[in-house]
Amino acid sequence: MSERFTERLVYALEDSFQSLRPFLKYLCVMGIGFHIAYFLVNQGEDVDEFLILRVLSILTLSLFGLTPLLEKTGFRKFVPVCIFTGLLFTLPFFSTYVLLQTNIQYPGSTSVISSLQLQFSLSVFFIVLLIPHALLTLCGATFSIALAFLVFTFVNPASMNLGLVKSFFFQLSPFWTFVMLASFFYQRNREVLELEKNRAMTAIGSNVAHELRTPLLGIRSRIGAVVDILPELVDSYKRTNPSDQGRKLSDRKLELLRTTCEDIRDETIFAGTLIDMFLVNLSDRSTQSEEFVYFNAKDAIDEAVRRYPYLSSVERKLVKVSTNEDFVIHGSKHLFVHVIFNLLKNSLFYAQKNSDPQVHIIVNGRDRIKKVIEVWDNGPGIPRKELSKVFKRFYTTHPIGGSGIGLSFSSSVVENLGGQILIDSVVGKSTTVKMIFG
């Protein structure tokens, strides 16, 4: 349960970070500008009593502008957490603490208090606009405000009283309630729009898939008939041309004719399977257990590598398969082969952006607990901001012809096979897709 909660929290932070990314530079400039303007307006006055907080806020905001550089360091995993924490510090925490401190120092100054109340309200409002997760917004803002109360109590133990707390919440609770409700409905509307978009794309994809099934079934039926009568036709042809010199077609060409027809039949069967698989993916139905068989991982990968429609013989030579130790998988072999197809398609496309393209498929079944299949390429890698989205349905970074269902489908198939699929990528170096079965 705790692991699932942690995964959701990490995903929410990563998603929030991606939503914040376009605004980080503006927040940096506006935030630092706000504090500098304060110093300029109050020059010649006594040192600001919130100087330490303002300096910390400036340093934190500076990190927002340095985000691209921070992501290239070894701490890139913690960048979303740091940015989120920094945002809470520079907005709700700072404004809450300043408002509390000012309340006890200038109790009769209505204009000052009103100004700070507006600053507090705007800080919470910005949090709602910038962070797309309502629950994360509520928890984060509540925690930062509570922390401000604790720090204020520690600094001013004699000044903290129940009346101050009541006054604070009485003045700001209406706006706080409005902001939280607005955040909930905004997030709900965002989710509904995303759901409707997926439903529309699902309906279109389903209709196209159903339309393709009819001509494929026709081709399959006719080529099946050709395959059935072809041996008799070839035998008759040989008997009417007993002389090798008079025969117009050599044995090699006759064999090629036979294998070509069989390949066409097999590919139409496979294409029909892919359409069925596509429809299963769209409808979120799991693969039927009666389709499951036991098969060797190495055999399925060899079949996928052999049958993949390479663009050239050079492209075929890029793919290397190595096996530390084979292992058995229980599931749909056809769907697993298509998973390898998807991964090969991506790896070949991106590997060829390298001057020395390489694609390696590694089967490692030595571990008794975890069996791993890795598909590695030395392409340009996937930016961290994309990694959390690549398994989303209809999401694609492919510039041409990307449907956004390949990795989504691959993930669901591997899960149905009792495994999980992970991606590890280093920008500018390589990408590794791992299928782990245990």
Q: Of 2 and 405, which is predicted with more confidence?
A: 405
Whole-number average pLDDT of the chain: 77
pLDDT of residue 65: 82
pLDDT of residue 400: 47
Q: Of 117 and 3, which is predicted with more confidence?
A: 117
Mean pLDDT of 27-33: 84
Break the chain into its structural domains and give their ranges. 2-160, 201-283, 289-437
- The answer to whether domain 289-437 has CATH 3.30.565.10 is yes
Instruction: Please list the alpha-helical segments (H only) found in 241-375.
Output: 251-283, 297-307, 313-317, 333-351
Mean pLDDT of 387-396: 70
Residue 298 contacts residue 326 (beta carbons within 8 Å): yes
pLDDT of residue 288: 52
Helix/strand/coil (H/E/C) assignment for every residue in 288-327: CHHHCEEEEHHHHHHHHHHHCCCCCHHHHHCEEEEEEECC
Burial of 82 (0-12, 13-18, 19+ CB in 10 A): middle
Please, what is the angle between helix 79-88 and helix 134-155, to 10°? 60
End-to-end Cα spacing for the chain: 20
User: pTM (2 decimals)?
Assistant: 0.46
State the pLDDT confidence band at 39, using cuts at 50, 70 and 90: confident
- 242, amino acid identity: P
Residue 347 and residue 112: Cα distance in Å, rounded? 61
